[in-house]
Amino acid sequence: MSKTAAVRHLVVVLGDQLDAESAAFDGFDPAQDVVLQMEVAEEATYVPQHKMRIAYFFAAMRHFRAELEARGRTVHY
C-alpha cells in the first residue's frame, strides 16, 4: 500500500489481541487495509508489574508485528 492510498479498514490490535486468525482480519485486503499497534506507556504503569513481564509483553507485540508483515499486511507500529 502506498503512503498516500486511502485506507479502507484500520484494524487496531491491542497487546492482548495477538491472534493472526482473529475475526478482526476477516476480509482483510493488504492493498486497502492497515493494522495499527501501539506501545502505550499506561500499559506498563496502570498497575505494578515486574519489569520482565512488561518486556515480554512488548516483545510479543513486536514479534506479532513481524508475523503480520510476513503475511503481507501493512502495520503501523
Q: Give the chain's domains with CATH numbers.
A: 10-76 (3.40.50.620)
pLDDT of residue 40: 87
pLDDT of residue 42: 85
- What average pLDDT does the segment 10-29 reach? 94
Question: What length does the chain have?
Answer: 77
Write down the pTM of the prediction.
0.85
Dmax of the chain from CA atoms? 41
Q: How far apart are the first and last CA of the chain?
A: 15
65-76 pLDDT tens trace:
999 999 999 999
- What average pLDDT does the segment 37-42 reach? 90
